Chains A and B, each alone.
Chain A
Amino acid sequence: MKLNPGFKILSLSLIWLWMSLFALLPLCLILIASLLSHNESHLMMRPFTFINYIQLYNHTYIRIFEKSFMIAGLATFACLLLGYPFAYLIARHQSRFKSVLLLLVIIPFWTSSLIRSYALIAIIKAKGILNAALLSLGIIHQPLSLLFTNDAVIIGLVYNLLPFMILPIMTNVERMDDRLIEAAYDLGSSKLYAFRKIIIPLTMPGIIAGCILVFLPAMTIFYIPDILGGAKSILLGNLIQNQFLIAQNWPMGSAVSIMLTLILISLIMIYAGVNHNQKKRGWL
Chain B
Amino acid sequence: MTNNVVELRGVYKKIHDHDILHGINLEVREREFLTLLGPSGCGKTTLLRLISGFETATQGQIFIDGEEISKLPPDKRPVHTVFQSYALFPHMSVYDNVAFGLRCQKISEKEIRLRVAEVLNMVKLEKYVDRKPAQLSGGQQQRIAIARAAINRPRVLLLDEPLSSLDYRLRKTMQIELKQLQRKLGITFIFVTHDQEEALSMSDRVVVMHEGYIEQIGTPRQVYEEPQNLAVAKFIGEANIYDGQVVSTSDNRQVLVTIFNKTRAAKTKRVFQPDEKVHVLIRPEDVRVWGQAEVTDTDDMFAGVVEDATYKGTTVDLMVKLNNSKTIAATMFFDEDDDRLEYKVGEQVWVNWTPGWEVILPHET
Contacts and interface: CB of A to CB of B under 8 A. Distances in A.
A188 B107 CA distance: 13
A189 to B, nearest CB: 5
A183 B104 CA distance: 12
A201 interface: yes
B101 interface: yes
A187 B149 contact: yes
Interface in A172-202: 177, 179-180, 182-190, 193, 197-198, 201-202
Contact of A179 (B85, B134, B152): B85
A186 B134 contact: no
A177 B74 CA distance: 18
A185 B73 contact: yes
Given A188-B105, A281-B132, A180 B75 contact: no
For B79, B90, B135, the residue with the greatest tally of chain A CB atoms inside 10 Å of its CB is B90
A interface majority secondary structure:
helix
B156 to A, nearest CB: 12
B100 A184 contact: yes
Interface of B: 52-54, 73-76, 79-81, 83, 85, 87-91, 100-101, 104-105, 131-135, 148-149, 152
B91 A283 contact: yes
B80 A187 contact: yes
Contacts of B135: 282
Interface residues on A, range: 20 to 34
B87 A202 contact: no
Interface of A: 177, 179-180, 182-190, 193, 197-198, 201-202, 278, 281-284
A187 B85 contact: no
Contact of A198 (B74, B75, B89, B152): B89
Contacts of B134: 282
A185 B74 contact: yes
A278 B132 CA distance: 11
A198 B83 CA distance: 16
Contacts of B132: 281-283
Given A282-B90, A283-B91, A177 B149 contact: no
Contacts of B148: 187
Given A177-B87, A188-B76, 15 more contacts: A182-B54, A182-B81, A183-B89, A185-B75, A186-B149, A187-B101, A187-B149, A188-B152, A193-B104, A198-B89, A202-B90, A282-B132, A282-B134, A283-B90, A283-B132
Given A282-B135, A283-B90, A283-B132, A187 B83 contact: no
Contacts of A278: 91
Given A186-B74, A188-B75, A189-B104, A201 B87 contact: no
B80 A186 contact: yes
A88 B100 CA distance: 23
A183 B91 CA distance: 14
Contacts of B131: 282
A284 B74 contact: no
7 contacts: A183-B81, A183-B89, A187-B80, A187-B100, A187-B104, A190-B75, A282-B90
A156 to B, nearest CB: 36
A185 B55 CA distance: 13
Nearest to A188: B104
A127 B74 CA distance: 52
A284 B85 CA distance: 17
A13 B134 CA distance: 36
A47 to B, nearest CB: 55
A186 B49 CA distance: 10
B90 A179 contact: no
A11 B200 CA distance: 58
A183 B87 contact: yes
Nearest to A281: B132
For A182, A186, A193, A197, the residue with the greatest tally of chain B CB atoms inside 10 Å of its CB is A186
Closest 8 CB pairs between A and B? A282-B132, A183-B87, A282-B134, A187-B101, A179-B87, A188-B104, A185-B74, A201-B91
Nearest to B133: A282
Contact of B83 (A179, A193, A281): A179
A278 B100 CA distance: 20
Contacts of B85: 177, 179
Contact of B75 (A177, A189, A202, A283): A189
Contact of B87 (A182, A188, A281, A282): A182
Nearest to B105: A188
A186 to B, nearest CB: 5
A184 B100 CA distance: 8
A58 B311 CA distance: 88
